[in-house]
Chains A and B, each alone.
Chain A
């Protein structure tokens, strides 16, 4: 009887969006009288940080610092339509809608600035700090604050924009299944290293090395928290979680966090996250959806590592000590 070590690898891709149902999201952007920008959505922030990402996308597109942007989610009296927050679509779909709305608002802003500076709007650029400059003559400039005041109180302009991102629904072809279920794909490859106690069937995940390709990391810190959390969830799926431990038997389901097993802080593997960026052609600043993909590769990587360690295949999730012991017993009997 011994503690045995093994490692396993898995590689995956993951689709962004839900074209099989049609996939619209809309956004509105408008300036306040002093040149702050309000993004109005009815997309939901589930804790993944959608508000922050939409603020950064709007700020980048208009040319202001992120703290000049406020994001309003989600009120059906004020927010335009969004399909919802799922299918790894939030950043990708809402982000594209916000870019379109912000571009339209930026154009109005530059037109007002052009009137104030008596130049053509096409000769203007933003400095990202809250100012609009004449290209090649940066000493000739106006603050966005003053542009907004002019628009609201002097020129009767609304610095605002409408954004829409719609992927038309894909109807699968009946006989061949030809379909376009999504636009872009994120990718990952994970290597898990485990220890299996062949006497108790217990698995300890030692290291989880995750490489993710997500288009663009719009906010690297938030990407990191998403990917670390997802890696934990993958371990949890692989080894612990189920509402029906003896499926299809309905009994023994957990009803609270004492009975529903998940790994605690002491069970967390040493986690490494590496991110590659291949911008997607249709993503906002190249972003793909990393939200769901990041919890998937750990599950087969752990299963493969368990085999590498003790030579039994557990093809039923979760990979519990009981299943491992039964498999080891069967292996010994043969």
Chain B
């Protein structure tokens, strides 16, 4: 890595003692020698193991659940169903007043995706829990499912989630989050060329080294300590408190050292049911995802579809951009309504365009609920935007890098979501890329700056 100190030298202090120093990380010797304690290193006498019975169907009504054989299985201590969970229907973002509550801790009456948790089995050993889980009999009536976002949005499509009443999230602005800036249709009418293209991604797994999980131990004073690898301690504690209808003062969460997250550990999935198991049995409980669960059950990055229509002039100026974004939330909201909204705030990227029209939808389908992942709401949008930029440049016969200089935002430029640009540095990044990659651009672009006089 090289620090190029010549850029922005006039606005930077370089005389600090500790900041800017390449100090070795204090915790890395523990990590590389295997001495760092992770949550799963906690072991308690009498600890129970929790395994989930999961839906084999994408969408089905639950006619009945028979746990009698599982309960008789040697080593089984407790079997939990929806009726054991005090506040079984929840949503993570309820703490910041984003509803409705739309997801069950354990399925109640219906499953909406293949892999959904239905029954929790607590046993003396992992093997006993696994074997007993296989003995739980669930009678399902399979329902039609929908997997495609466009299908899901059509009238008459199977309804994925009754708590929403339709297969999209309702924002205060309606079925989508809108951004309106300038007059996009007037821009298209004036443009020398108009190009509309669609982009699509597939779900992606975070693939952390350490799988999701927690170990819960009763403290003996009516409190429960939950050793967890959550990325958000109080989000998890407060949601657990709501789900279990238990004062937060009874909960003590310990974490902070996590073997990779990338956004995959911000959902509150394992902790509430593990704490409930510890509460009802009075014994420590371990609930750790297998690698298969991590890959197929834990939230992936959402698949997204992005449709971009641009109006561009022969001289390289983009004068109108219309973006429609679709985020595949799967069966439940989790953080997806937030991600789709963040996407609306991100378009049209780091470019100054006078006429912008954006709609972003959060769509429900019968698949594994998606949620946050590194670059949430932005990564796939950037893929679509930057491939579109390449196509536009070639359409008008311009060098792709020079084309970006013409449109790059600079200090003071008004963005589509009506915030003036501050601290821009795109031009300088592109200038340095031009030099480093030996991709020459015209001298006038190398003379540009993100600073704008009077801004």
A interface, CB within 8 angstroms of B: 7-15, 18, 20-22, 42-47, 49, 51-52, 55-57, 59-60, 63, 65-67, 72-77, 79, 81-87, 128, 169, 172, 174-182, 184-185, 187-191, 209, 211-213, 215-224, 227-228, 233, 237, 241-245, 247-250, 253-257, 260, 262, 272-281, 285-286, 288, 291-293, 295-297, 299-301, 303-304, 307, 313, 315-318
Contacts and interface: CB of A to CB of B under 8 A. Distances in A.
B263 A316 contact: no
27 contacts: A9-B400, A9-B433, A12-B349, A43-B256, A46-B260, A46-B265, A57-B19, A74-B254, A82-B234, A128-B18, A209-B436, A215-B423, A216-B20, A218-B20, A219-B21, A228-B1, A248-B147, A274-B432, A276-B8, A276-B425, A279-B8, A280-B423, A292-B376, A293-B375, A296-B375, A297-B386, A307-B390
Interface-centre pick from A10, A243, A262 (highest chain B CB count, 10 A)? A243
Contacts of A286: 12
B341 A172 contact: yes
B173 A175 contact: yes
B205 A241 contact: yes
Interface in B76-129: 93, 96, 98, 114
A172 B342 CA distance: 10
Given A216-B19, A243-B204, A260 B342 contact: no
Contacts of A180: 417, 419
A219 B22 contact: yes
Interface-centre pick from A44, A219, A257 (highest chain B CB count, 10 A)? A44
A84 B386 contact: no
B203 interface: yes
A212 B436 CA distance: 12
A273 B114 CA distance: 42
Given A13-B349, A60-B18, A221-B22, 16 more contacts: A15-B346, A46-B265, A55-B26, A57-B18, A66-B18, A72-B256, A73-B257, A175-B180, A179-B417, A216-B20, A222-B25, A243-B296, A247-B202, A296-B382, A300-B384, A315-B199
Contact of A300 (B237, B253, B255, B383): B383
Contacts of B231: 44, 46, 84-86
Contacts of B232: 44, 82-86
Contacts of A274: 1-2, 4, 432, 436
B426 A189 contact: yes
Interface in B207-233: 207, 230-233
B378 A15 contact: yes
Contacts of A279: 8, 11-12
Contacts of A254: 205, 295
B183 interface: no
A45 B433 contact: no
A104 to B, nearest CB: 18
Contact of A213 (B17, B19, B372, B429): B429
Contacts of A87: 376
Contacts of B391: 313
B181 interface: yes
Interface string B1-45: 111110110011000111111111111000100000000000000
B2 A75 contact: no
A76 B251 contact: yes
Contact of B387 (A14, A237, A315): A315
A276 B172 CA distance: 40
A304 B328 CA distance: 25
A220 B3 contact: yes
A317 B439 CA distance: 26
B72 interface: no
B364 to A, nearest CB: 13
Contact of A75 (B204, B253, B419): B253
A174 B359 CA distance: 12
A273 B436 CA distance: 10
Given A12-B382, A275-B4, A187 B426 contact: yes
B333 interface: no
Nearest to A315: B199
A189 B237 contact: no
B284 interface: no
B296 to A, nearest CB: 6
B300 interface: yes
Contacts of B11: 278-279
A92 B181 CA distance: 30
A128 B20 CA distance: 14
A260 B350 contact: no
Given A8-B390, A51-B27, A247-B203, A73 B358 contact: no
A60 B230 CA distance: 29
B178 interface: yes
B421 to A, nearest CB: 8
B446 interface: no
B338 interface: yes
A191 B439 contact: yes
B266 A86 contact: yes
B350 A13 contact: yes
Nearest to A55: B26
Contacts of A85: 231-232, 261
Contacts of A73: 256-257
Given A21-B96, A286-B12, A296 B378 contact: yes
B303 interface: yes
B51 interface: no
Contacts of B291: 255-257
A276 B7 CA distance: 6
B288 interface: no
B375 A248 contact: no
Given A179-B417, A248-B148, A221 B296 contact: no
Nearest to B357: A177
Nearest to A291: B374
Contacts of A315: 197-200, 384, 387
B433 A15 contact: no
A213 B300 CA distance: 28
B386 A301 contact: yes
A250 B114 contact: yes
Contact of B12 (A216, A273, A295): A216
Given A211-B429, A213-B429, A303-B383, A295 B255 contact: no
Contacts of A242: 202-204
Given A81-B234, A128-B17, A297-B382, A276 B292 contact: no
Interface in B328-363: 328, 338, 341-342, 344-346, 349-350, 358
Contacts of B433: 9, 11, 189-191, 209, 211
